[in-house]
Structure 1
Amino acid sequence: MSALTLTDHASFDAIRRGMGIPLAVGIGLAVWTAGAPEGLSPSGHRALVLFSAVFILYLTEAIPLAITSLVIAPAAVLLGIASPASSLSGFSSPSVYLILGAFIFAAAMVKTRLAERMTYGILKIAGGTTTRITLGITIANIVLAFLIPSSTARTAVLLPVCLGIASVIGGEGRTRFVVNLLLTLAFTNAAISAGILTATAPNPATADFLAKAERPVSYVDWLTFGFPPALIMTFLTWFVIQVVVGTEERHDAPLAGDAIAKPLSEMGRTTAAEWRTLVIFIIVVVGWVTQGWSKLDTTVICLAGTSLLFLPKLGVIDWADANGEISWQVILICGGGITLGDLLIKTGAANWLAGEIFHGLGLGAAGRLTMLLVVMIVLQLLHVLFIGTTAMATGIIPIVLALAETAQVDPRVLVLPAGMIIGGYPVLMFYNTLPNIMVYGTGRLTVLDFPKVGVPISLLACIVYAICASTYWRWLGMI
Structure 2
Amino acid sequence: MTDHALQSPPSAPVRFPPGLIFACLALLGVLFLPLPETLPVAGQRMLAILAFAVVVWVTEAVSYEASAIMITALMAVLMGTAPTLADPAQTYGSSAGLSMALAGFASPALALVVGALFIAAAMTHTGLDKRIALVTLTKVGASTRRVLLGAMLVIVLLSLVVPSATARSACVVPIMMGVIAAFGVPLRSNIAAGLMIIVAQGTSVWNVGIQTAAAQNLLTVGFMDKMLGERVSWIDWLIAGAPWAVIMSLVLVALVLKLLPPESDNVPGGMDGVTRSLAALGPMTAAQKRLGGVSLVLLLAWATEGRLHPFDTTTTTYAGLVTLLLPRFGVMTWKDVQARIPWGTVIVFGVGISLGSALLSTHAGQWLGAQVVEHTGLDTLGTLGVFAILSAFLIVIHLGFASATALTSALLPILIAVLQTLPGDFSRVGMSMMLGFAVSFGFILPINAPQNMVCLGTETFTPRQFARVGLWVSAIGYVLLLVFASTYWSWLGWM
Write the distance in 1 (CA, Å) between the matches of 2:271 and 2:305.
42
Write the distance in 2 (CA, Å) between the matches of 1:359 and 1:169.
58
Q: Which residue of 1 aligns with 2:86?
A: none
Q: Which residue of 1 aligns with 2:46?
A: 47
Question: C-alpha offsets along residues 25-48 of structure 1, whole Å, 9 cap, x if unaligned?
Answer: 111111111122353222211111
Find the partner of 1:421 among 438, 455, 458.
438
Question: C-alpha offsets along residues 385-436 of structure 1, whole Å, 9 cap, x if unaligned?
Answer: 001111111111101101111113432233111112213x211111111111
SS at match of 2:213: coil
CA contact (8 A) 1:20 1:56 kept: yes
Mapping 1:73-222, distance limit 5 Å: 73-80=72-79, 83=96, 84-212=98-226, 213-222=228-237
CA contact (8 A) 2:395 2:438 kept: yes
Q: Which residue of 2 aligns with 1:475?
A: 491
Write the distance in 2 (CA, Å) between the matches of 1:284 and 1:190.
22
Which deviates the most, 164-173 or 236-245?
A: 164-173
Which deviates the most, 82-91 or 179-188?
A: 82-91
1:170 offset after TM fit, Å?
4.6
Q: Which residue of 2 aligns with 1:5?
A: none
Structure 1 gaps of 5+ residues are 1-13
Q: Which residue of 2 aligns with 1:31?
A: 30
Which deviates the most, 70-79 or 56-65?
A: 70-79
Q: Does structure 1 residue 290 correspond to structure 2 residue 307? A: no
CA contact (8 A) 1:170 1:178 kept: no
SS at match of 2:378: coil
Q: Which residue of 2 aligns with 1:353?
A: 368
Q: Does structure 1 residue 246 correspond to structure 2 residue 261? A: yes
Write the distance in 2 (CA, Å) between the matches of 1:239 and 1:367.
34
Q: Does structure 1 residue 384 correspond to structure 2 residue 399? A: yes
1:55 offset after TM fit, Å?
1.1
1:339 offset after TM fit, Å?
0.6
Structure 2 gaps of 5+ residues are 1-13, 83-91
Q: Does structure 1 residue 226 correspond to structure 2 residue 241? A: yes
Write the distance in 1 (CA, Å) between the matches of 2:209 and 2:339.
27
TM-score, normalised with respect to structure 1? 0.93
Q: Which residue of 2 aligns with 1:57?
A: 56
SS at match of 1:322: helix
Change (3 A) 1:358 1:241: farther
Write the distance in 2 (CA, Å) between the matches of 1:129 and 1:250.
5
Change (3 A) 1:38 1:246: farther
CA contact (8 A) 1:351 1:402 kept: yes
SS at match of 2:137: helix
Question: C-alpha offsets along residues 270-323 of structure 1, whole Å, 9 cap, x if unaligned?
Answer: 221111001111222222223314221211111111111111221111213322
Q: Does structure 1 residue 303 correspond to structure 2 residue 318? A: yes
**Counterpart residue identity of residue 493, structure 2:** G
1:205 offset after TM fit, Å?
0.2
**Counterpart residue identity of residue 243, structure 2:** P
**Counterpart residue identity of residue 76, structure 2:** V
Which deviates the most, 133-142 or 214-223?
A: 214-223
Q: Which residue of 2 aligns with 1:7?
A: none
Write the distance in 2 (CA, Å) between the matches of 1:119 and 1:216.
32
Percent of matched pairs sharing the same residue: 29
Find the partner of 1:398 among 413, 422, 432.
413
1:453 offset after TM fit, Å?
1.1
1:451 offset after TM fit, Å?
1.8
CA contact (8 A) 1:164 1:259 kept: yes
**Counterpart residue identity of residue 141, structure 2:** G
SS at match of 1:383: helix
Write the distance in 2 (CA, Å) between the matches of 1:178 and 1:219.
34
Q: Does structure 1 residue 432 correspond to structure 2 residue 431? A: no
CA contact (8 A) 1:350 1:399 kept: yes
Q: Does structure 1 residue 278 correspond to structure 2 residue 292? A: yes
TM-score, normalised with respect to structure 2? 0.90
1:193 offset after TM fit, Å?
1.5
Write the distance in 2 (CA, Å) between the matches of 1:174 and 1:38.
59
1:139 offset after TM fit, Å?
0.5
SS at match of 1:255: coil
1:163 offset after TM fit, Å?
0.8
1:105 offset after TM fit, Å?
0.9
RMSD over aligned Cα atoms: 1.8
Find the partner of 2:429 among 409, 412, 417.
412
CA contact (8 A) 2:46 2:359 kept: yes
CA contact (8 A) 1:387 1:433 kept: yes
Write the distance in 1 (CA, Å) between the matches of 2:258 and 2:118.
37
Write the distance in 1 (CA, Å) between the matches of 2:249 and 2:340.
26
Question: C-alpha offsets along residues 226-284 of structure 1, whole Å, 9 cap, x if unaligned?
Answer: 22212222222222222222212254x23221011111122222221111001111222
**Counterpart residue identity of residue 350, structure 1:** G
SS at match of 2:30: helix
CA contact (8 A) 1:104 1:306 kept: yes
1:356 offset after TM fit, Å?
2.8
Write the distance in 2 (CA, Å) between the matches of 1:360 and 1:52.
19
1:172 offset after TM fit, Å?
4.0
Write the distance in 2 (CA, Å) between the matches of 1:239 and 1:321.
41
The number of aligned residues is 463
CA contact (8 A) 1:427 1:458 kept: yes
Write the distance in 2 (CA, Å) between the matches of 1:398 and 1:295.
27
**Counterpart residue identity of residue 363, structure 2:** G
Find the partner of 2:342 among 322, 327, 341.
327
